[in-house]
Structure formats: C-alpha cells, structure tokens
C-alpha cells in the first residue's frame, strides 16, 4: 500500500531522517513509537508530502509520489491525516469542516458531500453535532470530527500523529474506539502513538524509531515482551 525507501530529511544541519525503509501492506495497522525528536512526525509528514524528503522515495500503490511531475495537491488526498492538535477550522461548522475537501477538491456537489459527511459523522458518533462549531465540542469530539474529515475523502491510508496526546485522559478512549473500528473495517493506518495498550491491541507491527532511524520493528507481542535492541528495551522500560 505505502512503501518508503531510503528516505532522508534534513532541517538545515539537522539530519532528521537517516534512511528510512518501511512498507505497510493494505489493511495493516503500523504503530510508530519512539522518543521525542526521533523523527516520527517528520516521517509521517513525508508520507503525504507535507514535508519534501531530500532523498529516497515514497510509493503509494506502487506509484512514486516523490517523483517530479505529479499534482502534489491531488496526491495528498491519497493519505488522510489526523493531527495531535485536531486542527479543525474554527470558522466553519462541523459539517463545513467535513464537506470542505469533498466540495473544493473532489468537486462533489454540495448536497452529495453533505450526505457523505453525515454518513462519516455517524461512524464517529457525532451526527447530531453537524451544525456545531469546533469550539463547542470537547477535545475528544473535535478529534473524532477530524477523523471524519479524513474519512470522507476515502483515502487509501490514514496517518495519525499522536491523535490522543492532546486529550484529557478520560477522552482518549472515545477516539481510540473510533480508530479501532476503522482498523476492524480494514483501513490501512500508520499511527504515531504513546498508547501502548492500543498498539498492543490493534497494531500488526510496532515500529521503534530513534534518532532518525528505525531501530527495530515487529508484532506488538514480540516488541513489548522481548525486544532485541537494548535501545528499544530502554525506551519501553521507561514508558510501560
């Protein structure tokens, strides 16, 4: 589904990604863990070209999206992204947030877009909030709207960057539940997270990143109980 090969990224003199290779098959859920500053967000952002890699390639369904000559705006719709800080558009209603891209990017008639918006809002359990503004919602509800906003575009895969890190503990569950449902329904997901329980339950593979490189990856059972690399072990000891 998505394949990253030989990816490098610098910010000035800061070498943030040092040759990342990763392949996520269709329908798989990959959780990326690792210390702060290890390049997790940067990797995710390279996967939908919010950040331009300096070297290496990203393939979605075999198509090299890092190659020149593509319509980058259109390519970004292949991957739906959910951010730590929700980033809902505060001047639009929930419905406006969810229909914006279908109408403006996919050029779907407004009526149809709204119908689809209500469908995805129902999936995240927020149909009745369609006409509310983001500031009238709790953090957990806002993040579920953000997920609906990504869902409605029917992307080939979903990128989550610490989707629950900005939430009060009691609101984390409702967001993770929505993500679990998505996983069950076969969505391809790459999730940067500190929620080890979620990773243990849902992930097919857990990827440990440190200092711009993938140190180790494997099924959660293996990674959490007997990691091979001492850095993985040290990290997991600290947070588990």
Residues that bind another protein (CB under 8 A): 48, 50, 73-74, 76-77, 79-81, 83, 85, 87-91, 100-101, 104-105, 135, 146, 149-150, 153
What six digits make up the tokens of 231? 């850095």
**Least distance CB 139 / ligand ATP (angstroms):** 18
Residue 42 contact, options ligand ATP, Mg ion, another protein, none, Cβ 5-8 Å cut-off depending on partner type? ligand ATP
Size of the site for ligand ATP (CB under 6 A): 11
Note the Cα 75 to chain centre separation in Å.
15
Is 41 a residue that touches Mg ion (CB under 5 A)? yes
Is 52 a residue that touches ligand ATP (CB under 6 A)? no
**Least distance CB 83 / another protein (angstroms):** 6
Q: How far apart are CA 43 and CA 58, in angstroms?
A: 10
Cα within 13 Å of Cα(89), Cβ side: 12
Q: Which stretch binds ligand ATP (CB under 6 A): 20-28, 38-46, 91-99, 166-174?
A: 38-46
Q: How far apart are CA 219 and CA 239, in angstroms?
A: 18
**Least distance CB 42 / ligand ATP (angstroms):** 3
**Least distance CB 50 / Mg ion (angstroms):** 12
CA 177-21-72 angle, 5° bins: 75
Q: How far apart are CA 2 and CA 86, in angstroms?
A: 24
Distances from the Cα of 128 to the Cα of 14, 61, 114, 172, angstroms: 46, 36, 13, 20
CA 102-47-220 angle, 5° bins: 110
Q: Of the two residues 41 and 164, which places its CB atom closer to ligand ATP in the complex?
A: 41
**Least distance CB 212 / ligand ATP (angstroms):** 7
What six digits make up the tokens of 205? 């593979």
Q: Of the two residues 113 and 207, which places its CB atom closer to Mg ion in the complex?
A: 207
**29, 42, 79, 98: residue in contact with ligand ATP (rule CB under 6 A):** 42
Angle of helix 139-151 versus helix 94-104 axis, rounded to 10: 20
User: In the window 189-208, what residues touch ligand ATP (CB under 6 A)?
Assistant: none
User: Residues interacting with ligand ATP, by CB under 6 A?
Assistant: 11, 14, 16, 34, 36-42
């Amino acid at each position: 589904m998505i394949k990253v090969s030989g990816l490098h990224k610098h910010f000035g003199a800061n070498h943030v990604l040092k040759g990342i290779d990763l392949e996520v098959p269709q329908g798989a859920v990959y959780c990326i863990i690792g210390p702060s500053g290890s390049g997790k967000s940067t990797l995710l952002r390279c996967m939908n070209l919010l950040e331009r890699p300096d070297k290496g390639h990203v393939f979605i369904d075999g198509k090299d999206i890092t190659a020149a000559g593509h319509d980058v705006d259109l390519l970004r719709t292949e991957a739906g992204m959910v951010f730590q800080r929700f980033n809902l558009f505060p001047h639009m209603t929930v419905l406006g947030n969810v229909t914006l891209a279908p109408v403006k990017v996919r050029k779907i008639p407004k009526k149809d877009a709204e119908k689809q918006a209500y469908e995805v809002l129902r999936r995240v359990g927020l149909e009745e909030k369609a006409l509310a503004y983001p500031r009238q919602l709790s953090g957990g509800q806002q993040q579920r709207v953000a997920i609906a906003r990504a869902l409605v575009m029917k992307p080939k895969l979903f990128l989550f960057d610490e989707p629950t890190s900005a939430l009060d503990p009691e609101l984390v569950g409702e967001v993770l539940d929505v993500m679990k449902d998505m996983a069950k329904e076969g969505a391809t997901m790459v999730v940067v997270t500190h929620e080890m329980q979620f990773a243990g339950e849902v992930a097919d593979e857990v990827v440990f990143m440190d200092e711009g490189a993938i140190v180790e990856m494997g099924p959660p059972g293996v990674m959490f109980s007997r990691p091979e690399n001492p850095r993985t072990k040290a990290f997991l000891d600290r947070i588990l």
